[in-house]
């Protein structure tokens, strides 16, 4: 799951991004509306966290640009405004949810996860054979037995299952599970896949397609 945070308060933006990464999300940060639009149209995000009160390019304009594009990211708007009219205006622009500052990070995280689960055609529980991933509860089981995964292992598995048997490239996994700063020449994905295989057990359901990537059998 990948999230873009567009927030001009640098410390707050970095804190949100770091908090998301600590919870296993791929998180990128933009500090102004123009770069927020650029990143949102360049990368495939599940959720865009958008401060409404951005200078220069206002958050409303960013929201309108994303809603008018072909991107399917859900938009969570942040604002210091507490007036109902302000929140209604943002929602009418196409934002999917609204959160006023200051906010508790756990509530923020719950809203981000809820929006990500509303992605088109994504069932709450994904199954492949005897393997099941509950996206809402972030739980994995095989043949009814729970499996404990790290956040990155869970993210990789989620992407492989979402592909429904299609090959998923290393580049795609880096982009979706990590973030724009991930080193494309590192062995991060290979190592994570190896650990994931070990935890999922036999028979091995992750197939390596040489030169292309990985897929669930």
Tokens of 135: 């996206």
Distance, CA of 143 to chain centre: 27
Please report the pLDDT score of residue 119 as a whole number: 59
Q: Give the distance from CA 89 to its chain's centroid.
A: 25
The contacts found for 122-125 with CB under 8 angstroms, 24 or more apart, are 122/162
Q: Could you give the angle at the alpha carbon of 87 between the alpha carbons of 85 and 88, nearest 5°?
A: 65
Cα–Cα nearest to 57, from 43, 73, 39: 39
In this structure, the number of other CB atoms found within 10 A of the CB of residue 102 comes to: 7
Ordered structural domains, the chain, with CATH: 2-117 (3.40.50.2300), 125-216 (1.10.10.10)
Q: Report the pLDDT value the prediction gives residue 184, as an integer from 0 to 100.
A: 66
pLDDT at 87: 64
| Residue pair 179/21 in contact by the 8 Å Cβ criterion | yes
Predicted confidence pLDDT, tens digits, the chain (217 residues): 889 999 999 999 999 999 998 888 889 999 999 999 999 998 889 899 999 989 889 999 999 999 888 888 999 999 876 666 666 766 777 888 989 889 999 999 999 988 887 755 456 678 888 999 987 678 899 998 999 998 889 889 988 998 888 999 988 888 888 877 666 667 889 999 999 999 999 999 999 998 889 998 8
Cis bond before residue 102 (omega within 30° of 0): yes
Look up residue 79 and give its two tokens.
Answer: 């604002």
């Amino acid at each position: 799951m990948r999230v873009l945070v567009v927030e001009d308060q640098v410390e707050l933006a970095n804190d949100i991004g770091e908090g998301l990464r600590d919870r296993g999300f791929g998180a990128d940060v933009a500090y102004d509306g123009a770069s927020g639009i650029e990143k949102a149209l360049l990368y495939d995000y599940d959720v865009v966290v958008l401060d409404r009160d951005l200078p220069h390019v206002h958050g409303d304009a960013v929201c309108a640009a994303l809603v008018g594009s072909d991107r399917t990211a859900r938009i969570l708007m942040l604002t210091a405004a507490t007036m109902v009219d302000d929140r209604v205006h943002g929602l009418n622009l196409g934002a999917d949810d609204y959160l006023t500052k200051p906010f508790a990070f756990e509530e923020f995280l719950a809203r981000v996860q809820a929006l990500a689960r509303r992605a088109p055609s994504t069932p709450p529980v994904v199954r492949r054979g005897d393997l099941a991933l509950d996206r809402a509860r972030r739980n994995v089981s095989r043949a009814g037995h729970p499996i404990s995964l790290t956040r990155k292992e869970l993210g990789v598995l989620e992407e492989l299952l979402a592909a429904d048997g299609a090959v998923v490239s290393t580049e795609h996994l880096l982009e979706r599970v990590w973030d724009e700063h991930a080193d494309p020449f590192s062995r991060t994905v290979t190592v994570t896949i190896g650990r994931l295989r070990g935890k999922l057990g036999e028979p091995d359901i992750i197939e390596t397609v040489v030169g292309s990537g990985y897929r669930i059998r």
